[in-house]
């Protein structure tokens, strides 16, 4: 009969589970704004240790526990967002947080399964940490793509507050930068489980490799940091004025507060125009109406621009009827509008927030349109994604625009750099996040985009953090949260002549790691049955095993006598090898020539 499929996972041992959870919390603390970024170099080691010598099922569970701890600690703000603005209540918000954390933890679960399932014994000590780092990098990249992607905690994000450690981003991107960080973690963990009585030279070499990784990343980062800082100082500069109106999310789209919201926005926009900057930039949907469909508000905006006498890049909801279906498609748009009423180039948000700006698969699964689910998902917008567009050109400068959530996806900034952007420009509304640490996490992920493309990055946020980031990745200015003001950013036009190695092809390292991870997963999956058969054959009792007794008084396999050790009776006339059993019955196994027997070793 075919073997029965076991649907339940074996429970993880308590020490391993605790170790995994501690590692997940440690990694969460490495991200902004705790200031504990050095934890990124050691926080993966507990997970590696927890998976050591575990079954694949238990290792999967250890990885999943790590991921759950990381998720719950990193984006706990999601519960408040869904509870307060999603209309789901406290229990509903907590449920959404748990579901998202549980789903994202599957990636770490797969990592644990790979670590345990790939038997590298006898293939060299280097294999384990190196393979683990490749797998972590590949899974980190996949997390940003599968089911539209949501990678709020890429490993390199923990280094975003340290621009001198981000230098390698211009070679291999943020996910590639995570590779040496992961490798150091796994080398340190492997050193802890390496047998101390053998391979001393290899231990020294591996410890040196870990130090070399840290020193290499740091040295390259320091050199490139100084180069780009010098370029930024010498470059031509333009003034951008960003409008930070700090409109509370609960009032923003409420028609009862529209006059107050528009009045505050107008006062700040006129203040910015009075400074005669190169360009005034509003935050995401800072004009809280549908341009063109709300006639009174549309006229209000045009009159404001005429009064200001300056062009402005306005965050607004807008759209048009679809040519094929006739259905009105609403876009989240950044639009360059002129004082004479002309409508200039625009950028429509391409990567929308699922269940925040649209409901996934609503056209494929009609039941999602039911009255009940529409009530539950009522806070989700009805936006449609925009197409790929070139940078917004104003005078002689091209602005590669990203809207809010898009700044966590490297591919969008890379496309803007490929298309010839001179400046990366992020407009966002982080009022959803309240007083959590999410705005700081969101802000510093934009620093990774600047370091990858070596372009300056300006950020206009509704309630902060607005700011300016140098091509080196250094934060030149960051506004306070919840301030209502206009900020003038002196943007250096550096780094626009030659695309970085990352933009020209270095970004392929992470997807190659993902392909290798997928191949490893399939290989282990396809060979699992044969490995189980070999394991059962090796564990089967041998004839006569476990019954012999001898001078040591032991019984069974590995007992006190030669018979017990060999698993069978000693043939007539055979002699017992010296050292096979002690006079006191200690039951130590005989040692092979040149290789000591180690407790727990799989031979």
| Residues acting as catalytic residues | 284, 349, 404
Question: Which run of H or of E encompasses 538?
Answer: helix 509-539
Q: Cα separation of 157 and 166, whole Å?
A: 9
Distance of CA 93 to the CA centre of its chain: 22
Alpha carbon of 193 to those of 121, 187, 197, 202, 601: distances in Å?
13, 10, 12, 13, 11
Locus of tokens 């197409």: 387
Note the residue count of the chain: 603
The DSSP 8-state label assigned to residue 33 in this structure reads T
- Give 123: exposed, middle or buried? Use CB within 10 Å, 0-12, 13-18, 19+: exposed
Q: Cα separation of 53 and 602, whole Å?
A: 9
Locus of tokens 């700081």: 440
Strands 328-337 and 312-321: antiparallel
The DSSP 8-state label assigned to residue 164 in this structure reads G
Q: Would you state the structure tokens that stand for residue 384, as one six-digit string?
A: 């449609």
The DSSP 8-state label assigned to residue 155 in this structure reads G
Helix boundaries (H) for 86-126: 89-117
Q: Cα separation of 347 and 316, whole Å?
A: 11
Query: Mapping DSSP to helix (H, G, I), strand (E, B) and coil, where does residue 521 land?
Result: helix
Residues 335, 301 contacting (CB under 8 angstroms) = no
Neighbours of 515 (CB within 10 A): 13
Strands (E), 479-544: 485-492
Q: Would you state the structure tokens that stand for residue 389, as one six-digit string?
A: 């567009």
Q: Cα separation of 204 and 196, whole Å?
A: 11
Locus of tokens 């345990």: 116
Strand partners, 240: 279, 489
Closest C-alpha among 118, 41, 61, 52 to residue 517: 118
Strands 475-478 and 485-492: unpaired
The DSSP 8-state label assigned to residue 322 in this structure reads -
Closest C-alpha among 343, 229, 255 to residue 291: 343
Residues 448, 156 contacting (CB under 8 angstroms) = yes
- Give 209: exposed, middle or buried? Use CB within 10 Å, 0-12, 13-18, 19+: middle
Q: Would you state the structure tokens that stand for residue 178, as one six-digit string?
A: 């995570």
Query: Mapping DSSP to helix (H, G, I), strand (E, B) and coil, where does residue 12 land?
Result: coil
Q: Would you state the structure tokens that stand for residue 414, as one six-digit string?
A: 């890379």
Residues 135, 519 contacting (CB under 8 angstroms) = no
């Amino acid at each position: 009969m075919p073997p029965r499929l076991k649907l339940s996972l074996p429970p993880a041992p308590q020490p391993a589970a605790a170790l995994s959870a501690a590692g997940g919390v440690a990694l969460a603390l490495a991200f902004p704004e705790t200031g504990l970024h050095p934890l990124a170099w050691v926080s993966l080691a507990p997970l590696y240790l927890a998976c050591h010598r575990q079954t694949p099922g238990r290792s999967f569970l250890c990885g999943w526990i790590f991921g759950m701890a990381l998720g719950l600690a990193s984006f706990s703000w999601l519960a408040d967002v869904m509870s307060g603005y999603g209309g789901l209540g406290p229990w509903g918000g907590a449920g959404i947080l748990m579901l998202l954390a549980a789903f994202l933890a599957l990636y770490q679960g797969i990592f644990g399964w790979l670590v345990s399932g790939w038997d590298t014994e006898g293939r060299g000590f280097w294999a384990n940490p190196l393979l683990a780092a490749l797998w972590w990098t590949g899974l980190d990249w996949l997390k940003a793509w599968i089911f539209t992607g949501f990678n709020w905690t890429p490993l390199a994000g923990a280094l975003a507050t340290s621009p001198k450690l981000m230098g390698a981003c211009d070679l291999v991107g943020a996910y590639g930068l995570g590779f040496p960080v992961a490798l150091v973690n796994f080398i340190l963990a492997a050193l802890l489980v390496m047998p101390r009585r053998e391979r001393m030279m290899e231990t020294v070499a591996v410890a040196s490799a870990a130090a070399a990784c840290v020193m290499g990343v740091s040295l390259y980062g320091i050199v490139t940091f100084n180069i780009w800082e010098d370029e930024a100082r010498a470059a031509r500069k333009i003034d951008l004025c960003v409008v930070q109106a700090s409109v509370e999310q609960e009032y923003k789209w409420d028609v009862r507060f529209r006059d107050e919201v528009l009045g505050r926005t107008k006062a700040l926009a006129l203040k910015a125009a009075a400074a005669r900057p190169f360009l005034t930039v509003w935050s995401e949907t800072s004009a809280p109406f549908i341009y063109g469909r709300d006639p009174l508000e549309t006229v209000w905006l045009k009159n404001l621009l005429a009064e200001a006498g300056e062009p402005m890049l306005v965050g607004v909801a807008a759209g048009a009827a679809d040519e094929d279906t006739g259905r009105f498609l609403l876009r989240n748009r950044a639009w360059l509008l002129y004082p004479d009423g002309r409508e200039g180039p625009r950028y429509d948000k391409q990567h929308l927030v699922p269940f925040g700006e649209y409901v996934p698969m609503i056209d494929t699964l009609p039941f999602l349109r039911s009255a009940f689910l529409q009530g539950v998902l009522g806070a989700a917008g009805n936006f449609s994604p925009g197409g790929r567009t070139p940078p917004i050109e104003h005078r002689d400068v091209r602005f590669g625009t990203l809207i809010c959530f898009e700044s966590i996806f490297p591919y969008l900034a890379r496309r803007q750099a490929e298309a010839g952007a001179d400046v990366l420009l992020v407009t966002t509304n982080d009022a959803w996040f309240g007083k959590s640490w999410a705005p700081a996490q969101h802000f510093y992920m934009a620093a990774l985009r600047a370091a990858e493309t070596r372009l300056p990055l300006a950020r206009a946020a509704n309630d902060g953090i607005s700011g300016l980031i140098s091509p080196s990745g250094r934060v030149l200015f960051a506004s306070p949260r919840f301030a209502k003001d206009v900020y003038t950013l002196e943007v250096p036009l550096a780094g626009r002549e030659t695309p970085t190695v990352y933009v020209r092809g270095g970004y392929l390292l992470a997807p190659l790691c993902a392909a290798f991870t997928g191949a490893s997963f399939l290989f282990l999956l396809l060979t699992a049955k044969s490995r189980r058969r070999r394991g059962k054959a090796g564990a089967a009792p041998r004839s006569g095993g476990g019954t012999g007794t001898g001078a040591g008084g032991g019984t069974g396999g590995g007992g006190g006598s030669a018979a017990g050790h060999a698993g069978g009776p000693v043939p007539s006339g055979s002699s017992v090898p010296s050292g096979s059993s002690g006079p006191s019955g200690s039951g130590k196994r005989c040692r092979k020539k040149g290789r000591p027997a180690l407790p727990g070793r799989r031979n």
